Amino acid sequence: MKTRLSLVFAMLTLFIIQQINFAQDINNIYPYLEKLCMELHQYPELSLQESKTSQRIGEELRILGFEVTEKFGGYGLVGILKNGEGKKLLIRTDMDALPIEENTGLPYASKNKGVMHACGHDIHMSVFIGVANLL
C-alpha cells in the first residue's frame, strides 16, 4: 500500500541519518499510524478551518508527553517535548486539505463533501505523529 511505503520511507529517512535502527519500533507503531492516517483522510478540513484536525493532532501529542499550545496563529499548534538541555529539533506538518470531491471508492474516502486530502497531508500528519512517538 502506498501509505505504508510513504510512512516507512519518511520515518526511516529521518533516522538513517543518525545511523540508528528503528525498524522494529516503526513496525510496532505502524498499524496505529495507518489507522490514524485513514481517520485523518476521512475527515479533511480546508485551510484556516482545521479545528478538529488540530484538536486530534494535539491529543496525539499530549498522549506522547508533549506540552501542547493550541490556536497558535489560528488553528496551528505547538508541541514541546522537554528532554533536558542540549540541541533542539523542530518537526512540522501541514494539516489542510483541498477543495476537491473524492471519488476514489476507498473504504476510508473523505466523508466531508467537496474536501479531500489529495495533497498527502493525511500521510504527513501520520508521519509527524510517528516521528514524535519515536522521539
| Digit-coded pLDDT (tens) for 75-131 | 999 999 988 898 888 899 999 999 999 999 999 999 999 999 999 999 999 999 999
pLDDT in tens, 6-61: 767 666 666 655 546 677 888 899 999 999 999 999 999 999 999 999 999 999 99
Which domain covers residue 122, as residue numbers?
A: 2-134
Separation CA 133–CA 135 (nearest Å)? 5
What's residue 37's pLDDT? Answer: 97
List Cβ neighbours of 87 (8 Å cut-off, separation of 6 or more).
none
pTM: 0.82
Separation CA 70–CA 51 (nearest Å)? 10
Record the cell numbers describing residue 128, joined without a space.
509527524
What's residue 89's pLDDT? Answer: 85
What's residue 135's pLDDT? Answer: 86
Q: What is the CATH number of the domain that holds 42?
A: 3.40.630.10
Q: Which residue has 480546508 as its cell numbers? A: 46
Among residues 98, 99, 81, the alpha carbon closest in space to that of 90 is found at 81
The overall longest dimension of the chain from CA atoms, in Å, is 49
Identify whether the C-beta of residue 37 lies closer than 8 Å to the C-beta of residue 126.
yes
Question: DSSP secondary-structure letter at 72?
Answer: E
**How many domains is the chain built from?**
1
Phi, psi of 80 (to 5 degrees): -120, 125
Separation CA 78–CA 2 (nearest Å)? 29
